[in-house]
Structure 1
Amino acid sequence: MMANHPHAEAEAELLDDPAPTPVVHYAEQALLGALLLVPERLKTIGPLEPEHFANTAHSALFAAMCTVSPPGPEVHRTSPVWPNQLLAAAQPQARALTAAYLHLLISVCPVDAHAPAYAQMVRSGHARRRLRQHAGFLAQAARTPGPDPAGVVLARADQLAVYIDELATTFPSHSGSMPRTSPAPKPAAEISTEAEDQERMLLATATAHPEELPRMRWLHESDFTVPAHAAVFACLTTLARRGAPVDPITLLWEAQQRGLLHKGFGPAEFFDLVSHPAGTPEHWGRKILQRALLSQAASVAARIEALTADQATSVHQLATGSRRALTAFSSTRARWHQATSDSVEKTPVPHATPSRTPSVRSPTARAGPASLTPARPGR
């Protein structure tokens, strides 16, 4: 006997183990079957919309049920008027619908009186898909920033928070409402050349102008992508808050006391890191904080997507877990608001002298520094 072709064997393995049909598909079939059997059940299923169905044909059929008036009970028992009317109304939107499939829906409905329970399952499936969609929008905004990346991310986060509140209100809590799903692994911090350069510029300008550091409490070590840069920033803030002198030498001494110097990062590398300032610390600090905001948003989206992928998690558990995922993001968001508010407060009045560079509301709109000489402290 001729041996099977490797490609044919691979196809056979795929056919033998198809992806399982989502459970909500059977709930949709049971609900539609119940409504085909007893149209009066439409009054008992609660608020439900065609878009709540995952299957396009099911959505078209339910839309027809909401628009076509059913016949009287006596006519319905003796004639297939209702199924025929529905088929005629739904087929233009779902050509795959056939009379045979309507009979299948009727046959797979266990108990038509359970239609309200089936409808609640359909609503739950839709809620899960919508939550995942909101998380996807947030992830997309965080990964593909445009002219105002922070503004878009915050708008998506607001939309997500509003939808989470709706879920918590619509779907009641129960015992064990906390999600059991393990947290998604935190995405690795983006260490790009641009991120490194921004952090180096922040450290150099803050060393040259330490008097601005007390106004930058909105920037944290955790916002940095390079651990060594975060450690040097901690040295800077410690010296500034202590009121100690700050310059490359005092900063080098503080770094030595903290054990930051090692082979590959000695005095020469340290001086190179902090000795070429350009621009202002606040400008670079907002750049770093914005990057941290986007990274935090991507982490929130990944966590929520992991929750929605666990079919054993109830909708209320999804709402609870998603709200907790937003907590850390809210902290970063508050710091971003403080950083941009500080910028707005320092915006000069229209009659200010043109030699003074105005601050702007969005850090992404500010052009990079044109001069490579250290900026003078603000008066």
Structure 2
Amino acid sequence: MNPFHRAEQAVLGAVFLDPGQLERVSPWLRPEHFYRPAHQALYASALALRERGHPGSTAAVGAVPVSWVADVVTEAGTRTRGVTASYAHQLVAACPRPEHAVVYGRMVLEGAIHRTVAEHAVRLHQAALADTVRGGTEETLLRADALATVLADLARRWGADPRPVPPPAKGEPAPRATAVVDGDEHSDEEFLLACLTARPDQLNAVVGWLRPGDFVDSGHQQLYRALGALHHRGEPVDQLTVLWEVQRRGALTSGDLDAERVLAVCDPLAVAGSAEHFGEQVLGAALVRTAAESARQIRALAAVAALPAGRLIGHALHALGPLDKIRQRWHTARTGPIPEKAPSTARSSPGRAEAARARSRPRRTSTPAPAAAPVPAVPSRTSRRSPS
């Protein structure tokens, strides 16, 4: 049997045997964290009866009335089907120790974190694929915000700080997923390079937020680097000088480019337009590709059942790092730099502190060091001596 499924049974059995355990787990464990609908209904019913002041919700261990279990089952029957009194007795039998309800609740929450992170990663990946076909970024940005919000909420419930944590380095890098690229992306990149070759002064408008890695074609990356280098050194920019710079950088021998392709892409007569417009198209496509890659990494992390919940959240936030960086440049390209956020002054909630205490060992309290005695002031040599 799945350990998470057994943990859900144990939590509910502990609530039936000792209703006071609800006070310990309810601040951070919610009904939606349970996987089975029957378990969600039973836990939500127990919380509802406690809110309405049911006498059994405050009964001591060993003095719990029979009506407590019966009323919880009856209430759960109004929320979902298949909840019977005999199943409630199975839940009681599945609980090894009612006083360990917090640990069982942590197991349930850890399973919910894995499922929730995987679900939102799939949604982000689907939004990125849809925006690739549609040619937009709105749905991708919405799903990315939803995933970041969910990670922050899960970290608070788990009792951890929502900070990025890089995964441990491995011997071989994980293979990158093949990006879904259509012909429009290649066309936008070629139009942009042609515009910059025809009017090199437009580089000043895009170099602040467009990077070579934003181009999906490796040959276009080399051409953008060559254009930027010529412009930075103040040298003339045309088809021939770009070809010369590309050759100096070794791109012609690496197989990414050849002379005919360089001359064809950098033809100033091929297109006339705004480099900023085509640059935004290239950057938007790069944002969507980055979101798809981040979602793929997060989904792979969530599939590892042996990964603790705190590490999963930290690794997932780290995987969103490249998306956050390119998103800042996307905002700069469209509306200007993002204003800096004020430092957060929010205090941790009692539920987060309780969750952290439940999964941590008490630390030894070290004896505070005695305060240092104030150092007496030394009189200055230049001070005037008294007449005496």
TM-score, normalised to structure 2, is 0.74
Matched residue, 1:24: 4
CA distance 1:64–1:70, change in 2 (3 Å): farther
Deviations 1:207-246 (A, max 9, x none): 1111111221111111111111111111111111111111
Distance 1:242 1:126 in 2: 55
Match of 1:201 in 2: 191
| 1:298 paired to 2:278 | no
User: How much does 1:23 deviate?
Assistant: 1.9
Q: Which amino acid aligns with 1:33?
A: G
43-52 vs 319-328, greater mean Cα deviation: 43-52
Q: Check conservation: 1:178, 1:317, Cα contact below 8 A.
A: no
State how far apart, in whole Å, the 2-side matches of 1:85 and 1:128 are.
32
Structure 1 unmatched ranges of 5 or more: 1-20, 344-379
Report the CA distance between 1:52 and its aligned residue. 1.8
User: Is 1:114–2:94 an aligned residue pair?
Assistant: no
Pairwise CA distance, 1:151: 3.5
SS in 1 for 2:5: helix
> Residue in 2 aligned with 1:41?
21
- Equivalent position SS for 1:90: helix
Deviations 1:26-78 (A, max 9, x none): 11100111112222332333423221211100011112212232548599859
Match of 1:368 in 2: none
Name the structure 1 match of 2:177.
187
Paired amino acid for 1:274: C
Match of 1:93 in 2: 79
Amino acid at match of 1:116: V
| Residue 18 of structure 2 is aligned to residue 58 of structure 1 | no
Q: Which residue of structure 2 aligns with residue 372 of structure 1? A: none
2:262 aligns with one of 254, 257, 270: 270
Superposed CA deviations along residues 284-333 of structure 1, whole A, max 9, x for unmatched, are 11111111111111111111112211122222112211221122222211
Q: Counterparts of 1:327 and 1:51 in 2: how far apart (Å)?
A: 28
* 1:109-258 alignment, distance < 5 Å: 109-145=95-131, 149-172=136-159, 179=167, 185-217=175-207, 218-258=209-249
Q: Secondary structure at the match of 1:144?
A: helix
Task: Tell me the distance in 2 between the aligned counterparts of 1:171 and 1:61.
Answer: 22
Q: Is the 8 A contact 2:41 2:80 kept in 1?
A: yes
The 1:178/1:30 distance shift into structure 2, 3 A limit, reads: farther
CA distance in 1, matches of 2:166, 2:106: 20
Identity of aligned residues (%): 35
**Cα drift, residue 188 of structure 1:** 2.0
Query: TM-score, normalised to structure 1's length?
Result: 0.76
- The residue number in structure 2 matching 1:7 is none
What amino acid is the match of 2:203? L
Gaps of 5+ in 2: 338-388
- Once the two structures are TM-superposed, the CA of residue 193 in structure 1 deviates from its matched residue by 1.4
The structure-2 alpha-carbon separation of the partners of 1:78 and 1:289, relative to structure 1 and needing over 3 Å to count, comes to closer
- Aligned position for 1:17: none
The whole-number CA distance in structure 2 between the counterparts of 1:26 and 1:38 is 18
Post-superposition offset of 1:342: 5.5
Distance 1:79 1:285, change over 3 A: closer
Cα distance between partner residues in 2 of 1:230 and 1:165: 36
- What is the one-letter code of the residue matched to 2:121? A
CA contact (8 A) 2:218 2:256 kept: no
1:200 deviates by: 1.2
Q: Work out the CA distance in 2 between the residues paired with 1:235 and 1:32.
A: 65
Q: 1:70 to 1:303 in 2, by over 3 A?
A: farther
1:325-355 C-alpha deviation (Å, 9 max, x unpaired)? 1222222112112211359xxxxxxxxxxxx
In 2, are the aligned partners of 1:127 and 1:315 still within 8 Å (CA)?
Answer: yes
Does the Cα contact within 8 Å between 1:179 and 1:318 map onto a contact in 2?
no
Q: 1:202, CA displacement in angstroms?
A: 1.1
State whether residues 39 and 70 of structure 1, in contact with CA within 8 Å, keep that contact through their aligned partners in structure 2.
no
Aligned to 1:323: 317
Q: How far apart are the structure 2 equivalents of 1:186 and 1:267? A: 30
The CA RMSD measured in Å over matched residues stands at 2.9
Determine if contact 2:135/2:285 at 8 Å carries over to the other structure: no
CA distance, structure 2, for counterparts of residue 88 and residue 54 of structure 1: 20
1: distance between equivalents of 2:116 and 2:256? 50
